[in-house]
Amino acid sequence: MIIRPCRDDDIVEILAIVNAAAEAYRGAIPPDRWHEPYMSDAELRRELAAGVAFWGYESDGELLGVMGIQRVQDVDLIRHAYVRPDRQRLGVGAALLDHLRALSDRPLLVGTWAAATWAIDFYRRHGFTLVPPERAAALLRRYWSIPERQIETSVVLER
């Protein structure tokens, strides 16, 4: 097992992991926020161009999970944390999160869907605390580039 920076030749695998794992959101998040694919190639490339650095958890030459980190102003954002559905609950996400936390010397924020209770629980288990809703909305507007509807249906956790 290694955790390594993702490369350009990982894009197809990153998209496969993100879109397979994001199926958990289907029916949980508001229907107007769901789209297929959940993340397109163009969207991934926009995220990379905006400075999201993806890291991958690799085992036997195969990516099992990915997680991004993005420096924005005075914080680091955890972005797009996904593990292949058949490899979830085996420590892949925890290892990636620990690795990214070690890379950061700034406050860490993560945003997720309010309905994604499993994701909120994961971050809480790893030392993040839920931000009150009014402060979360202000943080989402300041540090993320997302539509107002997504702000209304998201939460922020900090560490």
Separation of alpha carbons 20 and 104, rounded Å: 28
Position 44 scores a pLDDT of 98
What would the pLDDT profile of 67-124 be if each residue is shown by its tens digit? 999 999 999 999 999 999 999 999 999 999 999 999 999 999 999 999 999 999 999 9
Chain centre distance of CA 27: 19
Domain that holds residue 63: 2-158
What percentage of the chain reaches a pLDDT higher than 90?
A: 100
CATH number of domain containing 104: 3.40.630.30
Separation of alpha carbons 67 and 118, rounded Å: 16
What would the pLDDT profile of 18-36 be if each residue is shown by its tens digit? 999 999 999 999 999 999 9
Number of domains in the chain: 1
Return the half-sphere exposure (C-beta side, CA atoms, 13 A cut-off) of residue 12. 2
Position 108 scores a pLDDT of 98
The DSSP line for 83-120 is: E-GGGTTSSHHHHHHHHHHHH--S-EEEEEETT-HHHH
Position 27 scores a pLDDT of 92
Position 100 scores a pLDDT of 98
Phi-psi region of 73 (alpha: psi -120 to 50; beta: other; left: phi over 0): left
Tell me which residue of 121, 74, 73, 67 sits closest to 98, measured CA to CA.
Answer: 67
Position 150 scores a pLDDT of 95
